[in-house]
A and B are shown apart, each in its own frame.
Chain A
Amino acid sequence: MRKELLILSGKGGTGKTSITAALAHLAAPSKIIADCDVDASDLHLILAPEIRSENDFISGTEAKIRRENCTACGECSAICQFDAIETDDEGIASVNGMACEGCAVCARFCPAEAITMHPCRCGQWFLSDTRFGPMVHSHLFPGEENSGKLVTLVKNQATQQAENLDKKLILVDGPPGIGCPVIASISGADLVLIVTEPTMSGLHDLERVIGLTTHFKVPAAVCLNKCDLNGNMAKAIERYCTDNGIEMIAAIPFDQAFTDAQVQGKAVTELQESGVSQTLEQMWFRLNDMLFSK
């Protein structure tokens, strides 16, 4: 049975990507790695993928106004709900591509038929090889929309690869937050590992991510990173997990090794003498159990 493990954090900067890289190192070779943190993806900085195929991510459409046909009637500007129409001194309209959501209502109602819709090239996605196995990743162009759709595309490609290559595990580095790309990444996940930290913000954000995994009925486990930063907050997070029936499967002390590994382009578990490796190994055994032993 193929399983999908998604790593989330709610709050950014808790160590989600570093821990995903460590899991990519520790998990048996039978896996596909997917980077779904599409608008600030960093996993490739550690995994150094060799790109096998490069593809355009075309998604949604954008309105374009033919200047010579525009009669400056102002209709498009009046009906646009996204403030995407700009007009010059003569009232001639143009579209601000960053604001346009591609609803096509202006194109439909332009009396001069001066507006047409055009597909958007919002980014690129890649099939690659890494020292830890095949990887699907992407690059959303700065300021683009449709990050949720790119997440879905990356996940679908990873599933396809897993089927073709008969891999048992899909390891997914998720985006921060709880919005559209996160919701897209949760769909189809068998287990969510939430990486948090013992801070007020960490707890607040953890509550919101667990709210989301509960909403979508996906089992979750918690990894408390930098666990020795604040003993009281660590206890508060442990208590929160217990009260909500969520297993805290690892507590990792603050360790400079994470930054050192990042600077060297390595997973923290690849470093020779890293005190956190054993904890991470035990965490992987537990995850492996949770995923495959049922």
Chain B
Amino acid sequence: MKIAIASGKGGTGKTTVATALALSAVQLPEFKKRVMLADCDVEEPNAHIFMSEESEEITGQEQYGSPSPNHIQWHEQEDIFATVPEVIEERCNYCGECRDICQFNAITVLGQTILVFPEMCHSCLGCFRVCEQNALQHGKRLLGQISKTHVNGIDLVQGELRVGEAMASPLIKAIKKRLPNDDTLVIIDAPPGTSCPVINTLTGTDYAILVTEPTPFGYHDLKLCAEVIKILSIPFGVIINRAGSGYKEVYEWCRKEGIDVLLEIPFDRGVAEAYAAGIPLIQARPDLQGHFSNILKNIVQSMEHLNA
């Protein structure tokens, strides 16, 4: 089963919730310790910061918030490439067919010169298909890396977009292809926003949790994100983080729309400080673990009910 954690607005607590769910799930017999956390926020992947086993050691000590980042030992790292055309000059007759089919302006032909702009290429392979001279060969552009490890009893997978690479979606699709389709519980940390990277992350998931905060920005972006989820027909619930601002619109909207509020996480400076230090929420607030376990149990039950 795949549960995606999303939000329109950034910084509402997606990663906090995703790591809390994964760390709670691994304690539950229902999941037989088959829990995966997949970080699809490839532009800024941060889940690994909260999964480092080192951070457990520094809790309770004065060095809370050691500035050295929690380093995680990756067991496996794989470079992910996009296929792009490369010209074999001696075969090219500069007919311009490849330029004409390319909808992304990745190929220019001027007289006896052909230029490829690999960073514009969407890897549709159209140019290869139309080239009658066999003058294009498969080149590659580095999109980023997919890294895997096993930590705290959880399989952790993350994608990390290469700095300077514009296209997040192909890397996200590559992560999605590597996710198990058996009874492993997969918690997916989604990117913020409402455009293609979010769609690619959410497609094919069984349930989504939208994390928001009770502020005008949080409310506005929650509504946008809910529109996306509805288009994809994925059942979802809401977690309200930093509750207690007095701004009521989010609650009223959820009630009116019949959307489940799964949990409220009260605003607590201690939680913010733990987050700053890379300490997982349920370590800072062990009393919340039961709530996360219940959320998971309820989602699993409702999914079984749905499939029955």
Contacts and interface: CB of A to CB of B under 8 A. Distances in A.
B196 A145 contact: yes
B124 A101 contact: yes
Contacts, number: 204
A40 B65 contact: no
Contacts of B161: 178-179
Interface stretch (A158-166, A224-232, A276-284): A224-232
B163 A39 contact: no
Nearest to A203: B69
Interface in B109-143: 122-126, 129-130
The residue in A9, A14, A108, A200 that gathers the most chain B C-beta atoms within 10 A of its C-beta is: A200
Size class of A's contact patch? 35 or more
Given A12-B192, A178-B163, A215-B163, A42 B273 contact: no
A235 B231 CA distance: 45
A124 interface: no
Interface in A188-235: 197-205, 208, 211-212, 215, 226, 229-233, 235
B166 A104 contact: no
Interface residues of B, number: 65
Interface in B221-248: 221, 224-225, 227-228, 231-232, 245-247
Contacts of B67: 203, 232-233, 235-236, 239
Contacts of A9: 10
A140 interface: yes
A1 interface: no
Interface in A1-60: 9-14, 17, 38-40, 42, 45, 60
Contact of A215 (B9, B49, B164, B228): B164
A142 B194 contact: yes
Contacts of B9: 12-13, 40, 42
Contacts of B251: none
B122 A12 contact: no
A208 to B, nearest CB: 6
Interface in B4-46: 8-12, 15, 42-44, 46
A142 B228 contact: yes
B215 A101 contact: no
A102 interface: yes
- Chain B CB within 10 Å, residue with most, of A142, A175, A211: A142
B101 A108 contact: yes
A109 interface: yes
B155 to A, nearest CB: 21
B85 interface: no
A204 B44 contact: yes
Contact of B10 (A145, A176, A211): A176
Given A81-B125, A208-B44, A233-B277, A176 B192 contact: yes
A147 B195 contact: yes
Contacts of B66: 232
A61 B192 contact: no
Contacts of A98: 199, 203, 231-232
B126 A233 contact: no
B168 A180 contact: yes
A74 interface: no
B272 interface: yes
A199 B194 contact: no
Contacts of A226: 272
A178 B224 contact: no
Contact of A143 (B69, B123, B194): B194
A45 B224 CA distance: 14
A49 to B, nearest CB: 14
B196 to A, nearest CB: 5
Contacts of A148: 166
A38 B193 CA distance: 9
Contact of B165 (A61, A179, A203): A179
Contact of A179 (B43, B49, B70, B125): B43
Contacts of A271: none
Given A140-B194, A142-B231, A201-B46, A263 B215 contact: yes
A236 B49 CA distance: 16
B199 A208 contact: no
Interface of B: 8-12, 15, 42-44, 46, 49, 63, 65-67, 69-70, 101, 103-104, 122-126, 129-130, 161, 163-168, 191-199, 203, 215-217, 220-221, 224-225, 227-228, 231-232, 245-247, 269, 272-273, 275-278
Closest 10 CB pairs of A and B: A12-B10, A13-B11, A236-B67, A103-B124, A177-B43, A230-B276, A200-B278, A105-B126, A211-B163, A180-B166
14 contacts: A11-B11, A40-B220, A45-B220, A81-B124, A82-B124, A103-B103, A103-B126, A140-B194, A145-B196, A179-B167, A181-B195, A183-B164, A200-B46, A203-B69
Interface of A: 9-14, 17, 38-40, 42, 45, 60-61, 79, 81-82, 98-99, 101-105, 108-109, 140, 142-145, 147-148, 175-184, 197-205, 208, 211-212, 215, 226, 229-233, 235-236, 239, 254, 259, 262-263, 265
